Amino acid sequence: MAYLRIALLGECQSGKSTSGNTILGGSVFNAAVYRSVLSVRHGEVSGRHLAVVDSPGWWYNRPLQERPEMDKLDIQNSVCLCPPGPHAALLTVPLHKAFTKQHRVALEENMSLLSQSVWSHTIVLFTFGDRLGGRSIEQHIEAGGEHLRWLVAKCGNRYHVFNNKKRDDTQVTQLLEKIEEMVAGNGGGHYEVDGNVAEKLSERKRNMEEHVLTLMTKTHRHRAVLKALFEGEHQSLPDVRLMLVGGDLFTRSRAGRHILQEEDVFTGGMTECVRQQRRVADRTVSVVMCPGWSTTPPSQKIKDVLLHGVTLCPPGPHTVLVNVPVCYGFSEADRRSVEEHMELLGDRVWRHALVLFTIGGWLGGRRVEEYIEAEGEPLRRILEKCGYRYQVLDGMSDLKELMEKVEDMRRQVCQRHRTPQGGT
């Protein structure tokens, strides 16, 4: 029985995971998540044994340098999950979207994570085949512009169309035949994974796992100490005052709506701080949404805006939530920007600060500590300043944990105030 190894690569929402399901004839990959999870599935199709690897997709409108390190590592590891390497890389391109210069740049950047030889083993897999209408795929390619024509030529004019909405074994069989034809044209070879690269990736993965366990242990120990310190103090805050800063407007506003359980708040752009208040889980929750900031040094206007935000929730916020979206990377420039802007609120702001990891669904079930470790020193320094207080926000259980941590922080601050060395 022939054995074919296939790696799926492409943009988010390009039909990549769904195509993996079509190839293997079942719901083996979760196509309903923000971020595809790096995984391999096996099956027998048309007299062939298949190993199919799914990988995280990328955003065409975000440069590679802003992509999470975890995603970059997964792209590199995708070709290592089917040793000794895939026979074919299927590059998914949706037919209902124009393939522009932005798409081309993003594709080239992400494919550069693999060696140049990957192009000799790549086939363009056009998805959403039902959108072709009465046109042939050749007519679509010709009308698609210079960047789409460049891509097809880059892949040696190898392409195929999938309609993932219908069960059609013929389209799968024809794809497998094209893969075998390509393999024959490559002298029967597959994409060669560099042994040194594979070993370095494996070593980095082992080191990350060790550091993740260390971080989780430290964080859990810190929370256990707090719980023991305030054991018996179960009274919940009647009102919770939160200030939400950092990150882009989309993820920050999404977090605000999630916390308040209200879809009609924080829906527009903003140049000033905005306060919204709702009744959530038997308590009054106020959220002050602050405008975003850039990685350039903060201006006096930004300082005035942030200080005004503090006055919107008198006598001040219980917690300042520092928004860090896990769908993006966290660079040294991000670290410097967070510190410079937060310190406009005074040196003591850090004792009230908590890192809020938003768009938690992007983790795909992985631990946030893996994201923290992959991003490295810049993010760890912010966590240190926040006393390793952090929370992922994705569901209702996460919201409950967030409120518990806010209450723990309030009790800890009150404890400082009650002790002679605590100050005010």
Mean pLDDT of 321-329: 96
pLDDT in tens, 134-145: 899 999 999 999
Q: Where are the alpha helices (DSSP H) in 230-331?
A: 249-260, 300-311
pLDDT in tens, 382-398: 999 999 999 999 888 89
User: Tokens for 347?
Assistant: 């040196």
> CA torsion sign, 234 to 236 to 241 to 247?
positive
Cis-peptide into 298, omega within 30 deg: no
Amino acid of residue 45: V
Mean pLDDT of 362-373: 92
Q: What does the DSSP 8-state code read for residue 328?
A: S
pLDDT in tens, 241-295: 999 999 899 999 999 999 999 999 998 888 999 999 999 988 999 999 999 888 8
Per-residue pLDDT, 1:
65
**What distance in Å separates the CA atoms of residue 170 and residue 176, rounded to the nearest whole number?**
10
Amino acid of residue 324: V
Judge contact between 230 and 411, C-beta under 8 A. Answer: yes
pLDDT in tens, 21-35: 999 999 999 988 878
**What distance in Å separates the CA atoms of residue 138 and residue 145, rounded to the nearest whole number?**
12
What are the phi and psi torsion angles at 416 (to 5°)? Answer: -60, -40
Judge contact between 205 and 76, C-beta under 8 A. Answer: no
pLDDT in tens, 172-181: 999 999 999 9
Amino acid of residue 360: G
CATH numbers and ranges of domains, the chain = 2-193 (3.40.50.300), 199-418 (3.40.50.300)
- Please give the full DSSP string across 255-283, using - where no structure is assigned: HHHHHHT-TTSS-S--SS-EEEEEEETTE
β-strand partners of 270: none
More confident residue, 2 or 157: 157
Per-residue pLDDT, 419:
46
* Mean pLDDT over each residue of the chain, to the nearest integer: 91
Per-residue pLDDT, 334:
96
